[in-house]
Structure 1
């Protein structure tokens, strides 16, 4: 039986709800430019009309290849209004990577700004490009969609060296945002940071949480981190979202003084482990804000758990100094798989439910990423977790971050935590490199004060078996970050592999 469109399940309907709440308020702000809800709605309808005129018959796939700009945001909304699947892309990625993603997603049309046009030209692909909407008639209303229709496709890194395309449905997003509406009290007076790249799944949280509640989205420039409290005050931001690595950067330049960000009401962190120390410092700097640690792979629609930081209880149950990730969203089931048997307490987190992707764009990428259990399909997160008595989960680390060192089964997060306890160390990232005698050895990169390697070894020897004490310690002013502003551990590992001496 053919599935029919269901009102209320289209991701774009989040914007329509905001339009009804706050038609004259600002929907998007990029620097000195802005559009109200009414203006962005009308522009999106014009874009949708132009896309319909340019696309071949049948369902179409629209890439948005642009820097953070009114073109990018109206392009995303216009593509959704047209009934298309949206593929947000970073125009500054290498040309071959962009070409691969455009081809894999089956893109039929590209919405691009000047940077995006140049990036597309480097791929050698001949695809229709839309900048401004042009003279095509606007749509009268957004197109209807089915819950199973793909709202957007995002790309994650793949172990094979090529990006993996992850399609997410309108129905999965509807379930997700309904849960967020119940949990949070966002409204038209809120101003959201749009911090991450539009190709990052957390951008969907920033955009559609705001737009579903008539709030303003403010595109956040990277340079604003240099004086974050001043920028937040100037722009009136009330909702913050970033990866946890941003906290240490803001702290280092003096932006985390107690009470420095009083207007924030909500602060969200996702994308990597949130340390208790960082959560506590941020909460002190933003004393009127709830701080939440969100967790979820792209394959489960942005985030699938959440834990609200409590200075009284969160740190007391943390493992390796990492804030708990919380309970799995309602409407989903999860199991903890431990080598083929289901553990009631600890194992790989596997989840099934409405937020789960129907599968990767390329079928071979599905191998090993899904389980068939109890007559259902489960997504394997690759993350090892522990379940608390209250049902919340503790993040223990990536399964692929578990390594064998001289017979020891080592969780790299445990080493990170031990090094952070050393005097003078602020943060640490553990990587491995080939050992001269075979196998692997541990290399530590750390921030904070420069500490003699012998001092670090002596302190760690009090807590770790000799086989787990790192062989090399490298002091850095700050960690390298990837395009999503996460610590680039891959780059550190490559550097470590080319560095034979245990420098301090």
Structure 2
């Protein structure tokens, strides 16, 4: 079996090693690590974790983190990336649920170690060159490469095991679609416990390219940072576009080094796509979509400044076509298949076969026509030609005074108001009914003016109760809008005065 046919995701790094052994595989500030050096460190970590079948990596964006993730994969183990700034109780729960038998930490992870482990008896590995493997251990397509944890409706994190076979399918499609080369330099804007980070790592390493970690300070002058680092491939959430814009970094032609720009993790606005495309005119821009359970992303749509705006719904860019080799259906509220609009279900080689705890599968992994499908919980519409467009989460459609309200429709309507840059509407239960609170960025506008503009396009029952200006939206560690923070703020605003006091 050739290296290209082997399912192990680490074979992509070994491909890069063969293409560019003394070239940089990883850059962080002034620090640069070659493919050969990272390979040797990974072999050392692989031997140092012994026979552990599941290895946690509690680390920030450090050389130890990247070498540790690759090393756990080399060991034939399942790697569990963990964020050292997460609450200790949550991280400990992830370690318990995953069955981790060894832990790799960097300085940041070590500082959080005592509180994180508590009474958990888990050995911390130390790199021992004498224990280094000579070659990575072989794995099969069904073996789990990594496990990530998503938020569950019960508040308990849900483990999502992703196999080497699913990743192999995903990256083979990516290679064919994008044609990355050893000259490409990829941003790493995502934390390592977010699946989109794996796109950066293994697309770059599979081509012999460079992963360049983006520090928070880079957003102060992103054009200068990208030019200085020679970045050719950008990948982030759409929220990063607004941040770069606010820092004055989206002037036409400001990002000339980019040849690919990818956005995922949130709905992409047409205005944001157009502004980014104008700033990066040599770049091909794609909106890519997919929940963790479907291996990083499972659809792709290529932005065209001439035709894409006419295909928008609520000002959002389509998410495109589902990846080759997969089937998908749309279901209406009664659970019947519909050709045009409904909840998106997908099955195929990128789909996880279930959560770590089978109890979490209920309502998400379902049987249809003798096959297992994943219910995304996302409402989409099929456009003429077959492309899909995201309409919102099923739980973002709420009932207000008998009206069925799609929160994305309110967001879109308010973005058309003078001075308003972006909008997030949240719904909160109040005294047996549902109240809407709008948070918006841009210029401060009178609430009466915003409500008057909405009355021109929306029924009275869909009008929000509060309009709250914020300088910028709170972002979580992966630079996505932190909706739970906004929801908590809305609850505070809507609470009776005595409770707020």
Does residue 461 of structure 1 match 2:455? yes
DSSP-derived class of the 1:136 partner: helix
Question: How far, CA to CA, are the matches of 1:76 and 1:188 in structure 2?
Answer: 22
Query: What is the aligned partner in structure 1 of residue 393 from structure 2?
Result: 398
Query: What is the aligned partner in structure 2 of residue 347 from structure 1?
Result: 342
Query: What is the aligned partner in structure 2 of residue 120 from structure 1?
Result: 113
Contact 1:7 1:144 in 2 (8 A): no
Residue 210 and residue 135 in structure 1: after superposition, are their counterparts in 2 closer, same or farther (change >3 A)? closer
Question: How far, CA to CA, are the matches of 1:72 and 1:185 in structure 2?
Answer: 27
Query: What is the aligned partner in structure 1 of residue 168 from structure 2?
Result: 174
Query: What is the aligned partner in structure 1 of residue 499 from structure 2?
Result: none
Does residue 424 of structure 1 match 2:431? no
Does residue 225 of structure 1 match 2:223? no
Does residue 251 of structure 1 match 2:245? yes
Does residue 278 of structure 1 match 2:278? no
Query: What is the aligned partner in structure 2 of residue 366 from structure 1?
Result: 361
Cα drift, residue 130 of structure 1: 2.2
Worse-matched range after superposition: 91-100 or 385-394: 385-394
Q: 1:106 aligns with which of 89, 99, 102?
A: 99
Cα drift, residue 87 of structure 1: 0.4
Query: What is the aligned partner in structure 2 of residue 336 from structure 1?
Result: 330
DSSP-derived class of the 1:143 partner: coil
Q: 1:38 aligns with which of 36, 59, 69?
A: 36
Q: How does 1:165-244 map onto structure 2 within 5 Å?
A: 165-244=159-238
Could you report, residue by residue, the CA deviation over 1:281-340 in whole angstroms, capped at 9, with x for unpaired residues?
Answer: 000011110111010000000000010111111110110001000000000000001121
Question: How far, CA to CA, are the matches of 2:307 and 2:430 in structure 1?
Answer: 41
Cα drift, residue 126 of structure 1: 2.5
Could you report, residue by residue, the CA deviation over 1:453-503 in whole angstroms, capped at 9, with x for unpaired residues?
Answer: 11011111000000011111000000011122111111111111111499x
Query: What is the aligned partner in structure 1 of residue 18 from structure 2?
Result: 20
Does residue 261 of structure 1 match 2:259? no
Cα drift, residue 6 of structure 1: 10
Contact 1:472 1:501 in 2 (8 A): no
Query: What is the aligned partner in structure 2 of residue 320 from structure 1?
Result: 314
Question: How far, CA to CA, are the matches of 2:130 and 2:362 in structure 1?
Answer: 44
Cα drift, residue 397 of structure 1: 0.3
Could you report, residue by residue, the CA deviation over 1:34-91 in whole angstroms, capped at 9, with x for unpaired residues?
Answer: 1111111111111111122xx45xxx10111101010000001111011010001101
Contact 2:45 2:132 in 1 (8 A): yes
Question: How far, CA to CA, are the matches of 1:229 and 1:284 in structure 2?
Answer: 13
Question: Structure 1-normalised TM-score?
Answer: 0.96
Contact 1:9 1:174 in 2 (8 A): yes
Query: What is the aligned partner in structure 2 of residue 489 from structure 1?
Result: 483
Does residue 163 of structure 1 match 2:131? no
Contact 1:6 1:145 in 2 (8 A): no
Question: How far, CA to CA, are the matches of 1:497 and 1:41 in structure 2?
Answer: 50
Question: How far, CA to CA, are the matches of 2:323 and 2:18 in structure 1?
Answer: 28
Contact 2:182 2:209 in 1 (8 A): yes
Cα drift, residue 434 of structure 1: 2.9
Query: What is the aligned partner in structure 2 of residue 138 from structure 1?
Result: 132
Does residue 9 of structure 1 match 2:4? no
Cα drift, residue 162 of structure 1: 1.3
Following TM superposition, the consecutive aligned residue runs of length 4 or more in structure 1 with deviations greater than 6 angstroms are none
DSSP-derived class of the 2:100 partner: coil
Question: How far, CA to CA, are the matches of 1:170 and 1:88 in structure 2?
Answer: 16
Question: How far, CA to CA, are the matches of 1:135 and 1:40 in structure 2?
Answer: 13
Cα drift, residue 371 of structure 1: 2.1
Query: What is the aligned partner in structure 2 of residue 474 from structure 1?
Result: 468
DSSP-derived class of the 2:277 partner: helix
Could you report, residue by residue, the CA deviation over 1:390-415 in whole angstroms, capped at 9, with x for unpaired residues?
Answer: 22101000001110011111111111
Worse-matched range after superposition: 342-351 or 484-493: 484-493
Does residue 301 of structure 1 match 2:295? yes
DSSP-derived class of the 1:331 partner: coil
DSSP-derived class of the 2:249 partner: coil
Question: How far, CA to CA, are the matches of 2:58 and 2:199 in structure 1?
Answer: 19
RMSD (Å), alpha carbons: 1.4
Residue 254 and residue 501 in structure 1: after superposition, are their counterparts in 2 closer, same or farther (change >3 A)? farther
Contact 2:180 2:207 in 1 (8 A): yes
Contact 2:417 2:450 in 1 (8 A): yes
Question: How far, CA to CA, are the matches of 2:477 and 2:229 in structure 1?
Answer: 24
Could you report, residue by residue, the CA deviation over 1:177-235 in whole angstroms, capped at 9, with x for unpaired residues?
Answer: 00000000210001000110000000000000000000000111112111111111111
Worse-matched range after superposition: 456-465 or 30-39: 30-39
Query: What is the aligned partner in structure 2 of residue 77 from structure 1?
Result: 70
Number of aligned residue pairs: 491
Cα drift, residue 137 of structure 1: 2.7
